[in-house]
A and B are shown apart, each in its own frame.
Chain A
């Protein structure tokens, strides 16, 4: 079955960096676009960015553009999110999610990893 497992969250001071990983299994990772979505405590969902199946295109929300970098290693079935210059407002649960084949829905989500900037 499809599994997405995030790791790397924790408590970090403002201005510091953190790297999140998402280990994928149960599907052909290299065939699917992948997303990062975050949710601040008690708030709604916010798209962070996404990467095409082959890594050829990457898009970011304005709120993280220039500070966050998404990458993937299709040989290791791994998605990454490098977060630099972290701000208090980046505090959230970060989810990785798989994009469905033919549209823009996210059909599988990981359990999330909490990042606290304080």
Chain B
């Protein structure tokens, strides 16, 4: 079955660039999206169709998807960006699929 793999955790200093990866077989052939989830809150879409930002999402959030890896990049990371991040794709055999999530720590 199709799987999406994310690193369990990523750390970044304030103002630096955070990069979170999401790996899956030929993931670049599918659309990937990303969600941010803060403690006690519902997930929020931050990137869809690989690189598009929903209205209201800061420009420091960007995405890419090629080969076997989709990447979420947060430039000039702020303390408020500390959260869990989940990638998601769609596969004909397993429908909607989420990665295991990455805890982003800003320290």
Contact = CB atoms under 8 A, between A and B. Distances in A.
B48 interface: yes
B80 interface: no
A45 B42 contact: no
Given A44-B98, A44-B100, A100-B48, A105 B43 contact: no
Interface in B78-96: 86, 88-90, 95-96
Interface in A55-105: 59, 61, 95, 97, 100, 102-105
B4 to A, nearest CB: 10
B43 A109 contact: yes
Size category of the A interface is 20 to 34
Interface residues of B, number: 22
B96 A104 contact: yes
> Which residue, A45, A103, A107, has most C-beta atoms of chain B within 10 A?
A45
Contact of B49 (A47, A50, A105): A105
Contacts of B49: 102-103, 105
Contacts of A102: 49
B106 to A, nearest CB: 20
B93 to A, nearest CB: 11
B86 A44 contact: yes
15 contacts: A37-B96, A37-B98, A44-B99, A45-B86, A45-B88, A45-B98, A50-B95, A95-B43, A100-B45, A102-B49, A104-B31, A105-B48, A106-B43, A107-B45, A109-B44
